[in-house]
Amino acid sequence: MLITALSFTGHPERGHLPHRLPFRFGAGPTRFYSRPMARVFSGIQPTGEVHLGNYLGAIRGWTVNQHHSDAIHCIVDLHALTIPKDPAELRAKTGELMAVLVAAGLDPEVCTLFCQSQVHEHTELGWMMECTAAFGELRRMVQFKDKAERADFVSAGLFTYPALQAADVLLYDTDEVPVGDDQRQHIELARDLAIRFNNRYGDTFVVPEHVIPPVAARVMDLQDPTRKMSKSLDSPQGTVLVLDEPKVVEKKFKRAVTDSENEVRYDPEAKPGVANLLSILAAATDGDPATLAEKYTQYGPLKADCAAAVIELLEPVQERYAELIADPSTTAAHLRLGAEKAQAVAAVTMAKVRDRLGLPAV
């Protein structure tokens, strides 16, 4: 009773008593789970280049959280197929992303880091989710409408993409999905599908919660500090890549747009460029942007310190990346380990799902 009153989101079949978590992604009211640590699932597409915003805003936090949650990170290469890709490029991007994530500190032994297409249960449950979702529900997805408008070729996969995303999450008895606000509608759908399936066929899935990850830093474009640094913006000079060489990083910071005043203060509204530099410096050095501002009277030294701090931050990641990318067998071993760990969980869910649906066991 008490557990219900505290909004226990865990699965009754697991039968364990919930424990309080030491640290969680979500900032909302404390929830209780059936495991000592919340199971957290996130997916990332192997497209574009990983930039400083991804690193400071997401990846660095994941490396910390892997020690406080049961974290599963998935490179969603099947989702990337919804828009036709060059096979060699997809292969390279998947390897690069895996190497960046490991180089940044995601430990394949600590968390589960894997590639979606290597765990066939995703496509299997994806189909079942397509049969659970209504056509009208998928038609309402804002991301589909956006992407379909821009695509030359609108694949059926682009339309059913959220059903596969629901399968990703539901396969792992996921408690929390820390993704940006743009994904809220997809996670709401995953919840609706879990509830509908549970109602039709009996308790099967944990109903996941969408949590907005705490923003360690919101990194803005160096050339247009009113827009978020992004993979999709065509702003190579405003986007610092995790793999940019030190000289390139220096140049990008040197050319960063500030303003025509000459006063360093932390004022994101009036001085977005300077505030962005101070925020980056603060995130990179574990400082506070307003306090850091007091140390500077001119923009030049602030830009130079910012570049130096980012270079220092990225240096070990780049070193480790260079080792990993030169050694594809290690990345392949990481992928195998991740797929094995993921499949051990996914296979149990699928056996249950098949049974619930009246399909023969395999």
* Residue 175 touching ligand TRP (CB under 6 A): no
- Could you tell me which stretch among 224-232, 244-252, 315-323, 341-349 binds ligand AMP (CB under 6 A)? 224-232
Residue found under tokens 């907005």: 212
Cα 70 to chain center, whole Å? 15
> Cα-Cα-Cα-Cα dihedral of 15, 17, 22, 24, to 10°?
40
User: How many CB atoms lie under 10 A from the CB of residue 154?
Assistant: 15
Is 228 in the active site? yes
Q: Report the alpha-carbon distance of residue 281 to residue 271 in Å, rounded.
A: 15
- CB of residue 316 vs ligand AMP: minimum separation in angstroms? 20
Least distance between ligand AMP and beta carbon 65 (Å): 12
Sole binder of ligand TRP in the list 34, 47, 112, 183 (CB under 6 A): 183
Among residues 24, 39, 60, 79, the one that binds ligand TRP under rule CB under 6 A: 79
Token pair for 265 = 């203060």
The least distance separating ligand AMP from the CB of residue 338, rounded to whole angstroms, comes to: 19
Interactions with ligand TRP, residue window 89-148 (CB under 6 A): none
The single residue among 41, 55, 197, 299 that binds ligand TRP, judged by CB under 6 A, is: 41
User: Residues touching ligand TRP: how many (CB under 6 A)?
Assistant: 13
Q: 128 or 187, CB closer to ligand AMP?
A: 187
3-state secondary structure of 87: helix
Which tokens belong to 217? Answer: 């830093």
- How many angstroms separate the CA atoms of 51 and 242, rounded? 5
CB of 168 to ligand TRP, least distance (A): 4
Single-letter amino acid, residue 26: G
The residues, any chain, with a CB within 8 Å of residue 315's CB and separated by 6 or more, are 246
Site for ligand AMP in 55-114 (CB under 6 A): 57-58
Transcribe 219-256 into DSSP letters: PBPSS-TTSB--SSSS-TTT--BTT--HHHHHHHHHT-
169 contact, one of ligand TRP, ligand AMP, none, CB 5-8 Å limit per kind: ligand TRP
| Catalytic entry in 85, 145, 231, 341 | 231
Judged on CB neighbours under 10 Å (0-12, 13-18, 19+), 66 is buried
Tell me whether residue 231 is one of the annotated catalytic residues: yes
Q: How far apart are CB 94 and ligand AMP at their closest, in Å? A: 14
**Cα dihedral: 276, 281, 282, 288 (round 10):** -80
Per CB under 6 A, the list member of 179, 211, 222, 283 interacting with ligand TRP is 179
Tell me which residues touch ligand AMP (CB under 6 A).
44, 53-54, 57-58, 180, 217-219, 228-231
Write out the catalytic residue numbers: 147, 228, 231
Tell me which residues touch ligand TRP (CB under 6 A).
41-43, 45, 76, 79, 165, 168-169, 177, 179, 183, 186
